[in-house]
Amino acid sequence: MAATLRPPRSISVSVPCAALGASLHSSVPFSRKPSLPCGRACRAGVRCSAANKPSPPPPTAPDSSEVSSIARIRSEVLSPFRSVRMFFYLAFMASGALGGLIALAQLLPALSNPARAAGAAETLKGLGIDAAAVALFAFLYSRESKAKDAQVARLAREERLSRLKLRAGAGDGRPFALGELRGTARLVIVAGPGEFVAESFRRSQPLLRELAERAVLAVPFATDGDAPELRLDEGGVDDDDDLARRSRRLWQLTPVYTTEWAQWLDDQKKLAGVPPDSPVYLSLRMDGRVRGSGVGYPPWQAFVAQLPPVKGMWSGLLDGMDGRVL
């Protein structure tokens, strides 16, 4: 009887793509090749999976070039005349350098010709004035440039801070960027061990209504991972009182993606020369810029005394009175 030849049936095997070259010849009997590209393996009946591919990281901030461009735009808005001053400094430096070259060209023939030596003193005096002017405007330009670089670096750090994620309450609400609270709240970041956060919470309790009246919101960040339960005593609180409801929400923000928060705080501590394990606080203005920071507990009494209310006739009028920025 003649034998009937049939093509072998395709075999579906789930093999990670990265492991094809190492294990395909031993796990699939009909292949004698040491390795197969993913596209050829899929055409041969082998189904590739990406089981060993690392999961994508959580959403992070844009690249440094984009953050730098945003920071530079904000720097131009905050200091609109700095570019004009730097332009005039460069123009005065060029004018002084040109005048110095002309004076030097007149001085050399005068020194070599005794008949023209009478005017050498005046030419030398003009050359000294031009050199002094170039040195002065070069110093002013250098100082302005350093101030601009420092401001851009600070604004870039604030842009990174504004992209850190928060969640309202202890539930599974949608994370949102810290920058979304610009114009509506003055944030106070309390970062340290769990006991430090709990003590900061206890110290703020007598001033909850005053802080809520000034749109202050606290962001507790336990650096040791031992986040305390910050529960307010709601006894006798009138639910119809809007200020009371806002005071209960003062400590309800929770940082998300704590690794990014820890990295940002470590960078800030290195710039300020603060030991990495020191508990710190950081207060922000209504516009998101850093107003103040320090080691230890937040000065809640000072916040109440210095910050204007954001209700009634004061709403929006004194938003710029949050204090100078760092």
Looking at residue 133, its pLDDT comes to: 92
Q: What is the C-alpha separation between 116 and 272, in angstroms, rounded?
A: 61
Q: φ and ψ at 276, to 5 degrees?
A: -60, -30
Alpha-carbon torsion, ordered 102, 105, 106, 111, to 10 deg: 150
Q: What is the C-alpha separation between 222 and 87, in angstroms, rounded?
A: 48
Q: What is the C-alpha separation between 4 and 92, in angstroms, rounded?
A: 97
3-state helix, strand, coil in the chain (%, to 5): 50, 15, 35
Average per-residue pLDDT in the chain? 74
Q: Which of 295, 282, 256, 95 is nearest to 188 (CA)?
A: 282
pLDDT in tens, 18-63: 333 333 333 334 344 444 444 444 344 444 333 344 434 444 444 4
C-beta of residue 126 within 8 angstroms of C-beta of residue 110: no
Please report the sign of the dihedral spanned by the C-alpha atoms of residue 189, residue 194, residue 198, residue 203. negative
Strands (E), 73-207: 165-168, 176-177, 186-192
Q: What is the C-alpha separation between 56 and 73, in angstroms, rounded?
A: 31
Query: How, if at all, do strands 14-16 and 47-49 pair?
Result: parallel
C-beta of residue 261 within 8 angstroms of C-beta of residue 223: no
Q: What is the C-alpha separation between 97 and 230, in angstroms, rounded?
A: 66
C-beta of residue 285 within 8 angstroms of C-beta of residue 186: yes
- Comparing 12-21, 35-44, 129-138, 161-170, the range with the smallest average pLDDT is 12-21
List the structure tokens of 124: 């030398």
At residue 66, does pLDDT exceed 70?
Answer: no
Q: Mention every residue, 6+ apart, whose C-beta is less than 8 A from residue 61.
A: 67, 159, 160, 163
As beta bridge partners, residue 253 has: 168
Q: What is the C-alpha separation between 58 and 152, in angstroms, rounded?
A: 26
Residue 198, SS3 per DSSP: helix
Q: Mention every residue, 6+ apart, whose C-beta is less than 8 A from residue 297.
A: 196, 199, 200, 203, 279, 281
At residue 195, does pLDDT exceed 80?
Answer: yes
% the chain with pLDDT above 90: 25
- Comparing 104-108, 188-192, 193-197, the range with the smallest average pLDDT is 104-108
As beta bridge partners, residue 44 has: none
pLDDT in tens, 273-284: 889 889 999 999
